[in-house]
Amino acid sequence: MTSPENAVSPPILIPFVEPLRTGGELEALREAVGRRRLSGDNLAARGAEAYLRGALGVAHALLTPSGTAALELAALLAELQPGDEVVMPSFTFSSTANAVVLRGATPVFVDVRADTLNIDADLIRPALTERTRAIMVVHYAGVPCDMDPIMALAKTHGLIVIEDAAQALHARYRGRPAGALGDMAAFSFHETKNIHCGEGGVFVCDQQTWGERAEIIREKGTNRAAFFRGEIDKYTWVDVGSSFLPSELNAAFLGAQLERSLEITRLRLDLWDEYQASLGGLQEAGVALTPQIPQDCAHNAHIYHLRLPSAERRTAVLQAMRREGVQGVSHYVPLHSAPAGRRYGRWVGEMTNTDRAGEGLLRLPLGSEMKTEAVAQVIDVVRRAVA
Ligand SMILES: Cc1ncc(COP(=O)(O)O)c(C=O)c1O
C-alpha cells in the first residue's frame, strides 16, 4: 500500500515557469567578461538603462540588484520617516511593504478591485490621515492600475506616488507606459518575470533631483558616478546609501533580453489570448473567474490566472493538474493577514476582494517559449479539473 509519505509525485511535464532564454545571453556575457569591467554602472548597464529610458520615456533609469532594492531606493528618496504612513494594496508581495517598514514607516493596506485585483482608487481617500506621505500602487499581473484618479488624489493631498511595476514592463495605461505614470517606479527582472537576469531590477523616475540622489544612494552614498564621468576630481561620502548596483554580468544578460522584449511580450500575449479564448467559458458557466482587462489598459501577459470560489476548490484543482504533470501556483497570502503585515501595518475597510483572491487565485503556466501543444494540454487539464 502506498502511504502519503512514500507516494511518488508524477514528474512535472509543464512547469509553472521556465526562465526565458533568448539565445543572445551567452554572447553578451562573453563580451562583458572580455571587457574586464564587471562591477556596476559599466557598458552593458548603461546600454540597458538607455533602452529602459527610451521604452518608458523617463529621464532616469538605474539598474538595481532586484525589484526589492529598487523599491527600497524609492522609499529612501521619498524620505519616509518613522510615523509616516503609506497607503498600498494588501494584495501584493512583501517587498512593497518592506520598503516602507525598513524606513520605520507604516504600510496602510486597503482592498483591491474585484476586476483587476489592483488597488481600488475609491478606497485610498478614506485611508488617508495627516501622517500619509505616499501611495504605492501595484500593477498586478502587468495590468496597470487606474492611475488618473490616483494621481489626482495624490496631487490634492501632496502625496508621492510610487509604482510597484515589478510585473509591468511594456504594459500601458491610456497609451502611457506603466512605470512612467507616477512619481517613481520599480521594476523586477527576477527570473519569474517576462524579462529577467536571474535577479535584477530597475528604479525609474523623471525628477532631476531624485535621479541625481538615486545615483548617489545606489553607490553607497558616494558621488563616485560623477567622478567616473570626470565631473569631480575625487569622490567621497556625501549622503546615506547602500550597494544598489548590479554586476555588469547581470546587466549584460538583461541587455540581451531587453533587445527582444517587445517580441517576447507579443509571444506571451498570443498564449495569454489562447488561454482566455479557451477558458472564458468557465466564467460563463459560473465555476471560475477569468482575468478582466479594462479598456484603458494594454497588459503584458505577465500572469494568466483563474479565480476559484474557495481555497478548497483551488487545492483540488491544483492537485488534479499536478497529477497530470501540470504545475500551477497560488498567489498572494494577503499582507494584512500575514504575520509581519499584522505586526508592522494596519488596514482600513473591508478586505473582501483581497481575501477572495488570496484564497482562490490560481496561476497557470505561461512563458514565451511555451509550445502551443503545451498550452492546449494545460487548457484540457484545467477544463476537466474545474468543471
Ligand atoms: C509586486 C511585486 N513587487 C516586488 C517584487 C520584488 O521583486 P524582486 O524579486 O526582483 O526583488 C515582486 C517580485 O516578485 C513583485 O511581484
Domain limit, last residue, from 212, 230, 259: 259
Nearest CA to ligand 1 atom 7: 67
Phi-psi group of 111: left, alpha or beta (phi > 0 → left; psi -120 to 50 → alpha; rest → beta): beta
Q: Is the pTM of this model over 0.75?
A: yes
- Tell me the per-residue pLDDT of 230-240, one tens digit each, with 9 for 90 and over: 999 999 999 99
Domain limit, last residue, from 210, 233, 259: 259
- For the cut 50, the answer to whether the pLDDT of residue 2 exceeds it is no
Measured CA to CA, the distance from residue 169 to residue 139 in angstroms comes to 10
State whether 148 and 208 are in the same domain: yes
CATH number at residue 297: 3.90.1150.10
pLDDT of residue 387: 85
Measured CA to CA, the distance from residue 328 to residue 301 in angstroms comes to 16
State whether 270 and 189 are in the same domain: no
- For the cut 60, the answer to whether the pLDDT of residue 5 exceeds it is no
- Tell me the per-residue pLDDT of 330-381, one tens digit each, with 9 for 90 and over: 989 999 999 999 999 999 999 999 999 999 999 999 999 999 999 999 999 9
- For the cut 60, the answer to whether the pLDDT of residue 159 exceeds it is yes
How many domains are contained in the chain? 2
| Ligand 1 contacts CB of residue 265 (under 6 A) | no
The answer to the question of residue 15 being in a domain is: no
Show the domain range for 200. 25-259
- Tell me the per-residue pLDDT of 239-276, one tens digit each, with 9 for 90 and over: 999 999 999 999 999 999 999 999 999 999 999 999 99
The dihedrals phi and psi of 161, each to the nearest 5 degrees, come to -110, 120
Alpha carbon of 68 to ligand 1 centroid (Å): 6
State whether 232 and 143 are in the same domain: yes
Pocket test for ligand 1, best of 71, 73, 93 (most atoms within 8 A of CB): 93
pLDDT interval class at 1 (50, 70, 90): very low
Alpha carbon of 231 to ligand 1 centroid (Å): 35
- Which atom from ligand 1 is nearest to the alpha carbon of 70? 11
CATH number at residue 44: 3.40.640.10
How many Cα atoms occupy the beta-carbon half-sphere of 271 within 13 Å? 28
State whether 50 and 171 are in the same domain: yes
- For the cut 50, the answer to whether the pLDDT of residue 49 exceeds it is yes
Instruction: Find the radius of gyration of the CA atoms of the chain.
Output: 21
| Ligand 1 contacts CB of residue 138 (under 6 A) | yes
pLDDT of residue 50: 98
Cα 91 versus chain centre, distance: 12
Task: State the Cα angle at 212 between 102 and 94, rounded to 5°.
Answer: 25
For residues 311 and 358, the answer to whether their CB atoms sit within 8 Å is: no
Measured CA to CA, the distance from residue 267 to residue 261 in angstroms comes to 10
- For the cut 70, the answer to whether the pLDDT of residue 3 exceeds it is no
State whether 245 and 271 are in the same domain: no
State whether 142 and 35 are in the same domain: yes
Measured CA to CA, the distance from residue 199 to residue 69 in angstroms comes to 11
- Tell me the per-residue pLDDT of 194-222, one tens digit each, with 9 for 90 and over: 999 999 999 999 999 999 999 999 999 99
Q: Beta strand 176-177 with 132-138: parallel, antiparallel or unpaired?
A: unpaired
pLDDT of residue 9: 77
pLDDT of residue 125: 98
pLDDT of residue 10: 84
- Tell me the per-residue pLDDT of 266-313, one tens digit each, with 9 for 90 and over: 999 999 999 999 999 999 999 999 999 999 999 999 999 999 999 999
Domain limit, last residue, from 210, 234, 259: 259
Average pLDDT, the chain: 96
The answer to the question of residue 169 being in a domain is: yes
State whether 140 and 288 are in the same domain: no
State whether 288 and 344 are in the same domain: yes
| Ligand 1 contacts CB of residue 365 (under 6 A) | no
State whether 269 and 209 are in the same domain: no
| Ligand 1 contacts CB of residue 164 (under 6 A) | yes
Nearest CA to ligand 1 atom 12: 166
State the CB neighbour count (10 A cutoff) for residue 384. Answer: 12
State whether 63 and 208 are in the same domain: yes
- Tell me the per-residue pLDDT of 319-339, one tens digit each, with 9 for 90 and over: 999 999 999 999 899 999 999
Measured CA to CA, the distance from residue 241 to residue 108 in angstroms comes to 26
Nearest CA to ligand 1 atom 8: 67
State whether 169 and 193 are in the same domain: yes
| Ligand 1 contacts CB of residue 194 (under 6 A) | no
State whether 301 and 173 are in the same domain: no
Alpha carbon of 9 to ligand 1 centroid (Å): 29
| Ligand 1 contacts CB of residue 166 (under 6 A) | yes
Residues whose CB falls within 8 Å of the CB of residue 328, separated by 6 or more in sequence, listed in order:
16, 317, 318, 321, 322, 362, 363, 364, 365
The answer to the question of residue 150 being in a domain is: yes
The dihedrals phi and psi of 204, each to the nearest 5 degrees, come to -135, 150
